[in-house]
């Protein structure tokens, strides 16, 4: 579990579960967390926020989820804040790239900086998941940065 002040760097496969502790601020610096659909593992988000969390972006970072799960999962009634000047390339497979899963609502997402490329292959780029997601996500606030969000074929929009 990533704790307040931790810096995640290097390359990890989805076989290594990553969670951010409630209230923690974590830096992603040249961090890649990948392997969606290429291994027989239990479906999981690339990163799970266990509560309110802040991610600081430095350099280029890649986060992918597995079947039905987002790259970064933000639970209902919690808030993920993204700061920094780095880049985040997030991908969800049926779930959102950043936000909810196919069957669970997303919490709030605040983007204050960085370059965010969020691609949901089945779900939304940012927000609610895909197929089966009948509920809307929390608030999405973009205060700065450059954000490109691409929804997949099963995404619900509001």
- The confidence score (pLDDT) of residue 36 equals 46
- The confidence score (pLDDT) of residue 19 equals 95
- The confidence score (pLDDT) of residue 148 equals 95
- The confidence score (pLDDT) of residue 38 equals 53
Segments of the chain with pLDDT less than 50: 36, 157-158
CB 53 within 8 A of CB 80: yes
- The confidence score (pLDDT) of residue 157 equals 46
Q: pTM for the whole thing?
A: 0.90
- Nearest Cα to Cα of residue 82 among 56, 58, 45: 56
- The confidence score (pLDDT) of residue 81 equals 98
- The confidence score (pLDDT) of residue 142 equals 97
């Amino acid at each position: 579990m990533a704790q307040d002040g931790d810096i995640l760097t290097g390359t990890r496969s989805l076989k290594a579960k990553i969670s951010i502790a409630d209230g923690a601020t974590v830096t992603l610096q040249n961090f890649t967390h990948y392997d969606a659909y290429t291994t027989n593992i239990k479906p999981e988000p690339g990163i799970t926020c266990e509560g309110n969390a802040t991610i600081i972006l430095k350099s280029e970072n890649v986060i992918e989820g597995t079947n039905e799960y987002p790259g970064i999962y933000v639970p209902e009634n919690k808030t993920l804040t993204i700061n920094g000047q780095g880049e985040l390339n997030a991908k969800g497979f049926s779930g959102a790239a950043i936000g909810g899963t196919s069957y669970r609502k997303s919490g709030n997402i605040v983007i204050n900086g960085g370059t965010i490329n969020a691609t949901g292959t089945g779900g939304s780029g940012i927000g609610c998941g895909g197929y089966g997601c009948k509920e809307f996500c929390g608030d999405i606030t973009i205060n700065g940065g450059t954000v490109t969000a691409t929804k997949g074929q099963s995404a619900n929009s509001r």
